Structures are given as structure tokens and as C-alpha cells.
Amino acid sequence: MSSTSRRNWVLHVDLDQFIAAVEVLRHPELAGKPVIVGGRGDPTERAVVSTASYEAREYGVGSGMPLRIAARKVPDAVILPVDHEAYNAASEQVMATLRAQPGAVVQVLGWDEAFVGVETEDPEGYARRMQQAVLDRTRLHCSVGIGDTLVRAKVATGFGKPRGVFRLTAENWLDVMGERPTIDLWGVGSKVSKRLAGLGILTVTQLAAADEAPLIGEFGPNMGLWYRQLGRGDGSSVVDDTPWVPRGHSKETTFQVDIVERAQIEDAARTLLDQVLDEVAADDRPVVGLGLKVRYAPFLTKTFTKKIPSTTDRDAVVEKAMELVAKIDPDRPIRLLGMRAEMAMPDDAREGHTPTRSGW
């Protein structure tokens, strides 16, 4: 693509097979082999895949898949335990490299991705130099999506993988995305795409041109119009480096042997909640809501949530959490339990906004 006049661009940087790539750097002999990272690296235990190398993905292995099934799909795969500290360290190096680029404003989205806002007349050239800088410092490869909005930049990255650069703007949005199913949009999952299909909306072009009334009737005035905006690739073009403020903290555990006894369940819930509330205390904000995640054997997952009066009283939070735990079906084996605490947002936080909802 040719250079353009100097203007503001959104670049979305996504590290290629990040966790697997970090592991290959630590174990060079694994290069080119199917690598699966998950749990404690033991496929006989209950755990899920955190990531898989491209070589393993060719066999149908993907994130969230039970580790034992992944091991069956790729019998000769190398299966490694998750090492959060190593991935955090690598991620910090990558983000520091992005921030060091000329004129860059960096909005971190997670371990392995970030938006970069920049003013340039040659976004492809800037993206290539940024990729090289990341590779030189971290030995990790990344893909870069170039867009005139956050949404278009994010979607563009998928067309650039692996190690590539792709531009998606108002000019070519419908040419590239128009005939694709709505589930290919960032922010549209399987449930929403099925609801859209119920309205006769199957493709991105159909969503972009949809009438307001049916969307509002199905999703409400805010989300209905937002989904149509997503279909057009529109939204904010502002990259904001304001530090991210977590809404809550959560912990979950998968039991190697199902638990059934009420005392066991309550003990496990209290242990998880203690870990969660330690993190909440470090943020120094009151708790305003609670969540409980239960996975019954063999694999049925239920979630329960509860708003509570704003409080920093640990005992009061535990008492309310136990009310949620009481909703667990008695005498039903449980394989996973998770606890979450939602916190009050500080006055200066970007309340109610996420990158998928038109920017900050």
C-alpha cells in the first residue's frame, strides 16, 4: 500500500503464539515442534490448554481445550506447565519496547497485545520498524493491524498473522469484511451471532445496513446500536494510555477429584475468597458485588452473582459469599469452583467503558 499524508493511525500489536513462543525461547530444542502449555504440564490432571504452538494448532488444539483431549490429538506434543512469571517478564519487555517507539501512545490490552496510537504518513513502514524493534529486544514476533479506528485495527491484525502487517480502514472495510459472518467481528461471540441470525442478519454487510428497530428490540438501545456500529467498523480512534483499573479480582481451582461434601465445598470457597480479598485489600477499594462459578461433573458450568452494599468489612463479604455458595446443588459432584469480588471504581476511572465499546 502506498504512503499517505501524515495523519493519526491506530496500530494493534498482537504477539504471535506468545506463551508458546516464550517457551521455545527458553527451550530452543522445541522450535518447530508441537508445543502445548497448560496447567501443571500433566495431561492426566484436570487442566485446560493456555496456548498451543502453530504446529499443535494444525491438529485442532486450541485454548480452553481440556489438556487430556489435546494430548490425545497430538500424541507427540511437548506439554509444558504454565509459568506466569516468565510471561509477565516477556510482556513487560515488549510493552517497554512499544512505548520507546517515536511518538507512540500505548494502551495495553493484555499480556500479548496493545494498541499503539501514532501520527505518521507511512503506517506500514512504522509497523515494520516496530516489529523489528520488538524482535531485536525480545526475540518475539508480532503481527500488526493498521486502522482508522480501534475496531478496524484489531480486526486487521487477524489478516496479518503471522508476522505480517495489514491495513483495514473505512475505504476497504466492507470489501474485506462484508461477506464474512458476524462472529468474525471483535466483540461478537457465538450467542450474539445466533441472536443476530434470528433477525436475519448473517453477514457483516447485513449488520452494517440493519434497521435500528429490530436491533434495539433484541439487544436494547445501547447494545443494539453498538452492534450495528461494530458492523461498520466505526467507533473511537483514540488510543488512551491511562492505566487500566481492574473492576474486580477472581480465583478458581479445578479439583483433581470431584468434591461433594458441603464442608469441603465451603472450605474451598473460603480459601479462594481469602486469596481474592487479599488482592482486593491491596487495591484499597470496597467490594460491591460477588460472583460464584461452579462446574458440576461432567462439564456443566453455572455462575451466580450478587450485588452487595459497598463494604470493606471482610467478614461481611464472606457472609454474603456464603449465601451464594448455599445455592450450589446438594449432593452434586463439583470439578471446579471460582470466586470473584467486584470493587467500586474510583471516581477518575473510565467507568463503564471497554475498548470494544467504542474506545474509552
Euclidean distance between the first and the last CA atom of the chain, given in angstroms as a whole number: 30
Q: Which member of 113, 218, 266, 319 is catalytic?
A: 113
CB contact at 8 A, 344 and 308: no
To the query of whether residue 319 is one of the catalytic residues in this protein, the response is no
d(CA 203, CA 213): 18
CB contact at 8 A, 56 and 74: yes
Angle at 104 between CA 101 and CA 105, to 5 degrees: 145
CB contact at 8 A, 135 and 98: no
CB contact at 8 A, 249 and 324: no
Q: Which residues contact 156 (CB under 8 A, 6 or more apart)?
A: 12, 145, 146, 147, 166, 167, 168
Return the number of other C-beta atoms located less than 10 Å from residue 300's C-beta: 11
Find the length of the chain: 360
Judged by DSSP in three states, 199 sits in coil
Report the Cα 335 to chain-centroid distance in Å. Answer: 24
CB contact at 8 A, 270 and 264: no
351-to-230, 247, 280 alpha-carbon distances in Å? 21, 9, 18
Strand-pair partners of 147: 10, 168
C-alpha dihedral sign at 124, 127, 131, 137? positive
For the annotated catalytic residues, the residue numbers are 113
